[in-house]
C-alpha cells in the first residue's frame, strides 16, 4: 500500500465515515474542508482509489458527490467557445495569452467557484454528505487552487476534501 493510500484509507476515510466529520476535518466552522496532498505521479492511482472510497462511504449511508475540476474547466471553456477554438487560439496567439484568457473566464465570465458550488448538494446534510473534489491539476497554470478555497469559504456546508497533486514546500507550503 502506497503512502497516499495509507493516509486515504486509515486517516481520511474514518473521519469521513464518522457520524459528524466536520470537527475533525477542519477547525473552522465556515470552512468544513480539507486538503489532501498526493504526488502528481499518482494521479491515475488516486482516481481509482476515489472511486473505491466513494463506494465504501456510500455503503456506510453517506451521500458522496464527486466534483472534477477538469470537467468544470471544460464546461467554462465550452461556454465561451468550442474546445477546438481554444487549441487554435493557443497556436495563433501563444500560450501566455491563452492562459490569461482562460484565467479571466474562470474568474469572471463563468466563475469556477459557481461551477463547483452548483454541484454541491442542494440540501446539504453535514452528517451524511461528503464532497470529493479532484482533478485539481487540470487548472494549472491558469487558476490557483487557493483562490477557489478562499471563494468557497461560507458556501460549503458538507464536509469537503480537495485532492491536490503537489509537494510540501517547507513546513506548511505547497507547490
Q: Residues 15-54: pLDDT tens digits?
A: 999 999 988 887 666 677 889 999 999 999 999 999 999 9
Average pLDDT for 94-111: 93
> What percent of the chain lies above the pLDDT cut of 90?
75
Q: Within a domain: residue 169?
A: no
Q: Distance between CA atoms of 99 and 90, rounded to whole angstroms?
A: 9
Label the pairing between strands 160-165 and 168-169: unpaired
- pLDDT at residue 165 tops 50: yes
Question: For position 175, what pLDDT does the model report?
Answer: 53
User: Tell me, what's the pLDDT at 33?
Assistant: 85
172 within some domain: no
Mean pLDDT computed over 55-84: 96
Grid coordinates representing 127 are 452528517
Asked if the structure places residue 61 within a domain, the reply is yes
Of the ranges 33-37, 87-91, 132-136, 144-148, which is most confident? 132-136
Instruction: Please state, as a whole number, how many other Cβ atoms lie within 10 Å of the Cβ of residue 154.
Output: 9
> Whole-angstrom Cα distance, residue 141 to residue 139?
6
Q: Which domain holds residue 7?
A: 3-164
- Residue 70 sits in a domain whose CATH number is 3.40.50
Distance CA 2, CA 9 (A): 11
pLDDT tens-place string over residues 70-82? 999 999 999 999 9
What total number of domains does the chain contain? 1
**Is residue 175, in this structure, part of any structural domain at all?**
no
Please check whether residue 160 lies inside any domain of the structure.
yes
Angle between helices 95-104 and 83-93 (to 10 degrees): 140
Please check whether residue 174 lies inside any domain of the structure.
no
Alpha helix positions (H), the chain: 3-6, 13-17, 22-25, 43-59, 69-78, 83-93, 95-104, 112-119, 145-152
Question: CB 134: neighbour CB atoms within 10 A?
Answer: 23
H-helix or E-strand containing 63? strand 63-68
How far is Cα 102 from Cα 90, in angstroms, rounded to an integer? 11
Distance, C-alpha 35 to centroid of its chain: 9
Residue 170 located in a structural domain: no
Which pLDDT score, from 0 to 100, does residue 146 have? 84
Let me know if residue 68 belongs to a domain.
yes
Question: 46 and 163 in contact (C-beta within 8 Å)?
Answer: yes
pLDDT of residue 172: 47
Amino acid at each position: 500500500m502506497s503512502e497516499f493510500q495509507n493516509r486515504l484509507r486509515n486517516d481520511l476515510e474514518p473521519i469521513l465515515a464518522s457520524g459528524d466529520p466536520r470537527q475533525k476535518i477542519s477547525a473552522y466552522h465556515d470552512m468544513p474542508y480539507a486538503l489532501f496532498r498526493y504526488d502528481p505521479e499518482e494521479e491515475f492511482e488516486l482516481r481509482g482509489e476515489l472511486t473505491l472510497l466513494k463506494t465504501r462511504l456510500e455503503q456506510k449511508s453517506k451521500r458522496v458527490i464527486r466534483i472534477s475540476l477538469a470537467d468544470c474547466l471544460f464546461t467554462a471553456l465550452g461556454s465561451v467557445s468550442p474546445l477546438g477554438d481554444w487549441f487554435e487560439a493557443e497556436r495563433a496567439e501563444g500560450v501566455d495569452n491563452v492562459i490569461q484568457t482562460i484565467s479571466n473566464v474562470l474568474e469572471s465570465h463563468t466563475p469556477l467557484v459557481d461551477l463547483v458550488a452548483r454541484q454541491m448538494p442542494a440540501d446539504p446534510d453535514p452528517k451524511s454528505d461528503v464532497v470529493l473534489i479532484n482533478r485539481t491539476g487540470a487548472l494549472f497554470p491558469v487558476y490557483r487552487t487557493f483562490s477557489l478555497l478562499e471563494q468557497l469559504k461560507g458556501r460549503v456546508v458538507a464536509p469537503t476534501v480537495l485532492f491536490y497533486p503537489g509537494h510540501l514546500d517547507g513546513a506548511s507550503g505547497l507547490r
